């Protein structure tokens, strides 16, 4: 079995949305959905750009899809070829190459394309036609403006040019950001060439009378730039296309492959013992590595990566809790970029806190450019009334600020590098702590501080008090703020100046007492109560709650959701807490919490299974850990995960699961721990695995970790 390639035979239009995700090519700057070159918008083609947003009318703001480069449609004897007699498509995870073979009857088409990892603006396609019969072949090749948007359109004022270099320019509607696409075509066969230019785009039409058995091939090179990249995106795109054509497809492909080899050298987990699981792990690592912002030092990764516009292209807590671990252990410069995004969007978090009447930094739940809040007050549509439902994600999920402080502290703990703290990270931690001081619900007649009216990771229970996960994140934030003085003990003047800059003297004095008084959760028979009053909710089985649904697309949470008055939860909450703070729980307490909460968890989020798997490793439930690992790692191979929240489409790839698969393998099965550059192993290998091996970076040095049935070892790498 090839553990580096996903293949699918046959073609069904109903599968197009999922296939576009599974067969995605991406390079951090853009994502090219995995659909055939000739696909129309009913098959959900898109070239999604990272960090470029637009809002049309009063619809949700979302990422911009660029003009669709590498469009190729074949005609034979004057008729467009649309019937797939046989079809095969595949994705090479090793090198990020999408391929397809299609039997159209009179011709057979084979192609391979990629989004260059060697240069983020470049796309390339090698398209070959084998003629089964004699006739008139025509290939329409170019840039299509028939753009699929969920909440668009987003591009306006199109300008097209059909010359030696095809060009399409437009601007976004909201901020008038210029977006430019260019394309060059090199045909390896003599043909009659005609430029085509209309409202549908800019193309070449290549015509040739072909003989039976004749082979015709072409290479297409495309480039996309926006005004965010420089002052003249159209000229930059044209220049890159010219350069790529002069180098040729094979040279561009070789550079792309070499770049991917460098990524795998730094991040690949070798898993032996189960080839299907090894394929799923390669898929997970591919999808997360493919969307990493290597072209910038201050961008993060959205909840659906670059697979499309769902979740508004927003940055969630996934970035710090699920993406960050793989990168900080393998490619810390990317982890640093994720955190620099938060540092540079601190003004947006300060603004949001002020809008709610608080001080400090209240980060956006769905962060878009500049830290702007993309989350609306009505994030779900009722499937019965078709009316928007008031949700409280943007208002009450205050753990987001603590999640960011947690990642900043983890970066220092794992790398030993405090430069990021000094470059704004310390300020973020202090402002997050200030927000929680401002947000606390203190009682004059008691010793404890509550945090009321919040939502934890389990979104089925809204507006609860003292969510265990949230309160622990707040405690950690306060602890991290106080620790800064120790971290910078050799630079007391710098730290004192920072406190003065932030006018922090009064807040600094409050932190120790506030830390002591934060309400700790109730524990019953070793089980930590998820929030005040959780144990008093209806205790019924998952299937009993599921049976109450009147429509499979119903939202389970909120005021009227079937789960809201029960103990059934959406995703790991206390168990997520246990995974992030294992030192807080004895093995017996972990076992009790796992046994209690797992049967009561719907796993309605792709963020859930990996947290349960990490805890299952520690409590010795290795069969369960393996099951949950496969659930996590398989998700972008099999196409699992929820596609709808109410009437809102939420499909796409699952970067949080991709990162979760790495966490289970490295931190769970291998039991890797890194503290201030020191590595230790505490293996928990399931019976299905005979060997794990993977590189890590710690304390500025590279190490190779290997775990087998005989035990584990760590050796330095050259």
Question: Domain boundaries in the chain?
Answer: 11-266, 268-716
If you search the block for the tokens 């000739």, which residue do you land on? Answer: 38
Contact yes or no for 263/257 (Cβ under 8 A): no
Contact yes or no for 551/580 (Cβ under 8 A): no
646 - beta bridge partners?
Answer: 381
- Mean of the pLDDT values across residues 12-32? 95
- Mean of the pLDDT values across residues 599-628? 96
**Rounded Cα gap, residues 157 and 136, in angstroms:** 36
Of the pLDDT bands very low, low, confident and very high (cuts 50, 70, 90), residue 646 is: low
If you search the block for the tokens 């990249």, which residue do you land on? Answer: 229
Of the pLDDT bands very low, low, confident and very high (cuts 50, 70, 90), residue 240 is: very high
Kindly report, residue by residue over 23-56, the tens digit of the pLDDT: 999 999 999 999 999 999 999 999 999 999 999 9
Tokens standing for residue 546: 């599921």
pLDDT (0 to 100) of residue 198: 82
Catalytic (active-site) positions? 459
Contacts 24+ apart (CB under 8 A), 700-708: 700/415, 700/416, 700/417, 701/677, 703/679, 705/666, 705/670, 705/672, 705/679, 705/681, 707/669, 707/670, 707/671, 707/681, 707/683
The correct CATH number of 11-266 out of 3.30.300.30, 2.70.98.40, 1.10.10.10, 3.30.413.10 is 2.70.98.40
Strands 107-115 and 122-131, how do they pair?
antiparallel
**Rounded Cα gap, residues 142 and 204, in angstroms:** 6
Contacts of 20 (CB under 8 A, 6+ apart): 33, 34, 35, 43, 44, 45, 46, 307, 308
- Mean of the pLDDT values across residues 315-338? 97
Check whether 642 has a pLDDT greater than 80: no
Contact yes or no for 511/482 (Cβ under 8 A): yes
- Mean of the pLDDT values across residues 104-130? 98
Number of other CB atoms surrounding residue 82 within 10 Å:
10
Kindly report, residue by residue over 161-176, the tens digit of the pLDDT: 998 999 999 999 999 9
pLDDT (0 to 100) of residue 442: 78
**Rounded Cα gap, residues 159 and 167, in angstroms:** 8
φ/ψ of 98, rounded to 5, equals -95, 135
Contacts of 355 (CB under 8 A, 6+ apart): none
Contacts of 458 (CB under 8 A, 6+ apart): 530, 569, 570, 571, 573
Of the pLDDT bands very low, low, confident and very high (cuts 50, 70, 90), residue 195 is: confident
pLDDT (0 to 100) of residue 677: 77
Alpha helix positions (H), 322-398: 324-330, 332-344, 346-355, 393-396
Contact yes or no for 311/303 (Cβ under 8 A): yes
pLDDT (0 to 100) of residue 346: 98
Contact yes or no for 419/332 (Cβ under 8 A): no
Residues of the chain with pLDDT > 70: what percent? Answer: 99
- Mean of the pLDDT values across residues 503-526? 96
Kindly report, residue by residue over 470-487, the tens digit of the pLDDT: 999 999 999 999 999 999
If you search the block for the tokens 């469009």, which residue do you land on? Answer: 71
Could you give the count of Cα atoms lying within 13 Å of 202 in the half-sphere of its Cβ? Answer: 22
- For the chain, give the mean pLDDT: 95
- Mean of the pLDDT values across residues 499-526? 96
pLDDT (0 to 100) of residue 222: 98
Alpha helix positions (H), 134-272: 233-247, 249-267
Question: Cα–Cα–Cα angle for 420, 426, 427, nearest 5°?
Answer: 120
Domain 268-716: assigned CATH number: 1.50.10.10
DSSP state of 633: H
pLDDT (0 to 100) of residue 75: 98
- Mean of the pLDDT values across residues 324-335? 98
pLDDT (0 to 100) of residue 427: 98
Could you give the count of Cα atoms lying within 13 Å of 47 in the half-sphere of its Cβ? Answer: 28
Question: Cα–Cα–Cα angle for 304, 22, 638, nearest 5°?
Answer: 105
Of the pLDDT bands very low, low, confident and very high (cuts 50, 70, 90), residue 639 is: confident
78 burial via Cβ count (<10 Å: 0-12, 13-18, 19+)? exposed
71 - beta bridge partners?
Answer: 142
pTM value is 0.96
**Rounded Cα gap, residues 613 and 624, in angstroms:** 7
Check whether 570 has a pLDDT greater than 90: yes
Domains 11-266 and 268-716 share a fold: no
pLDDT (0 to 100) of residue 383: 87
197 - beta bridge partners?
Answer: 202
Look at the chain and count its residues.
718
**Rounded Cα gap, residues 631 and 640, in angstroms:** 8
Of 134-148, 375-389, 614-628, least confident by mean pLDDT is: 375-389
67 burial via Cβ count (<10 Å: 0-12, 13-18, 19+)? buried
If you search the block for the tokens 């965010």, which residue do you land on? Answer: 228
3-state secondary structure of 511: helix
Distances (CA, A) of 383 to 122, 160, 543, 549, 642: 42, 42, 21, 11, 16
675 - beta bridge partners?
Answer: 678
Kindly report, residue by residue over 378-421, the tens digit of the pLDDT: 888 888 899 988 999 999 999 999 999 999 999 999 999 999 99
């Amino acid at each position: 079995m090839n553990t580096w390639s996903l293949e699918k035979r046959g073609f069904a239009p109903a599968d197009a949305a999922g296939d576009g995700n599974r067969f995605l090519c991406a390079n951090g700057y853009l994502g090219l959905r995995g659909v055939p070159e000739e696909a129309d918008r009913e098959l959900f083609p898109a070239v999604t750009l990272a960090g470029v947003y637009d809002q049309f009318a009063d619809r949700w703001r979302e990422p911009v899809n660029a003009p669709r480069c590498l469009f190729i449609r074949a005609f034979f004897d004057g008729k467009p070829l649309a019937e797939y007699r046989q079809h095969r498509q595949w994705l090479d995870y090793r090198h990020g190459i999408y391929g397809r073979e299609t039997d159209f009857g009179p011709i057979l088409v084979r192609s391979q394309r990629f989004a260059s990892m060697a240069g983020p603006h470049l796309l390339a396609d090698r398209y070959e036609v084998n003629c089964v019969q004699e006739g008139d072949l025509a290939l329409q090749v170019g840039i299509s403006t028939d753009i699929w948007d969920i909440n668009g359109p987003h591009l306006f004022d199109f300008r097209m040019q059909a010359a030696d270099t095809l060009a399409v320019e437009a601007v976004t509607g909201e901020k008038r950001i210029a977006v430019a696409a260019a394309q060059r075509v090199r045909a390896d066969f003599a043909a009659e060439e005609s430029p085509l230019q209309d409202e549908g785009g800019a193309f070449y039409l290549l015509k040739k009378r072909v003989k039976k058995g004749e082979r015709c091939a072409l290479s297409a090179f495309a480039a996309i730039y926006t005004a965010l990249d420089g002052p003249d995106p159209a000229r930059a795109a044209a220049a890159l296309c010219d350069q790529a054509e002069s180098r040729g497809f094979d040279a561009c492909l070789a550079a792309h492959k070499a770049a991917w080899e460098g990524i795998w050298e730094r991040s690949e987990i070798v898993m032996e013992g189960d080839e299907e699981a090894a394929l799923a792990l390669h898929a997970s690592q591919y999808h997360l590595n493919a969307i990493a912002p290597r072209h910038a030092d201050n961008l993060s990764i959205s909840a659906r990566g670059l697979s499309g516009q769902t979740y508004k292209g927003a940055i969630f807590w996934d970035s710090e809790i699920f993406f960050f671990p793989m990168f900080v252990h393998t490619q810390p410069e990317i982890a640093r970029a994720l955190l620099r995004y938060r540092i540079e969007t601190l003004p947006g978090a300060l603004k949001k806190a002020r809008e709610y009447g608080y001080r400090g930094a209240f980060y956006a739940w769905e962060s878009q450019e500049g830290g702007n809040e993309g989350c609306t007050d009505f994030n779900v549509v009722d499937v019965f009334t078709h009316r928007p439902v008031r949700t409280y994600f943007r208002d009450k999920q205050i753990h987001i600020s603590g999640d960011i402080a947690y990642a900043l502290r983890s970066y220092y703990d794992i790398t030993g590098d405090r430069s990021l703290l000094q470059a704004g990270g310390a300020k973020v931690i202090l402002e997050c702590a200030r927000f929680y001081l401002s947000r606390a619900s203190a009682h004059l007649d008691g010793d404890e501080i509550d945090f009321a009216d919040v939502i934890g990771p389990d979104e089925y229970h809204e507006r609860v008090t003292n969510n265990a996960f949230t309160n622990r994140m707040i405690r950690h934030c306060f602890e991290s703020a106080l620790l800064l003085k120790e971290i910078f003990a050799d630079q007391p003047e710098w730290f004192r100046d920072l406190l003065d800059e932030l006018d922090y003297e009064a807040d600094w004095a409050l932190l120790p007492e506030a830390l002591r008084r934060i309400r700790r959760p109730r524990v019953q028979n070793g089980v930590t109560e998820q929030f005040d009053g959780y144990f008093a909710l209806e205790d019924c089985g998952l299937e009993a709650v599921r049976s109450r649904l009147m429509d499979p697309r119903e939202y389970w949470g909120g005021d009227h959701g079937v789960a809201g008055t029960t103990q059934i939860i959406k995703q790991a909450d206390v168990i997520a807490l246990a995974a992030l703070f294992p030192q807080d729980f004895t093995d017996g307490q972990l076992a009790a919490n796992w046994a209690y909460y797992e049967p009561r968890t719907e796993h309605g989020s792709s963020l859930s299974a990996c947290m349960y798997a990490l805890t299952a490793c520690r409590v010795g439930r290795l069969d369960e850990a393996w099951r949950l690992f496969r659930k996590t790692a398989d998700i972008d191979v099999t196409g699992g995960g929820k596609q709808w929240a109410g009437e809102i489409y939420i499909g796409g790839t699952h970067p949080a699961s991709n990162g979760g698969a790495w966490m289970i393998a490295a931190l769970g099965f291998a039991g890797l721990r890194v503290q201030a550059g020191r590595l230790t192993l505490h293996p928990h290998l399931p019976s299905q695995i005979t060997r794990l091996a993977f590189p890590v970076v710690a304390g500025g040095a590279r190490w190779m970790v290997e775990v087998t049935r005989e035990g584990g070892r760590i050796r330095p790498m050259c």
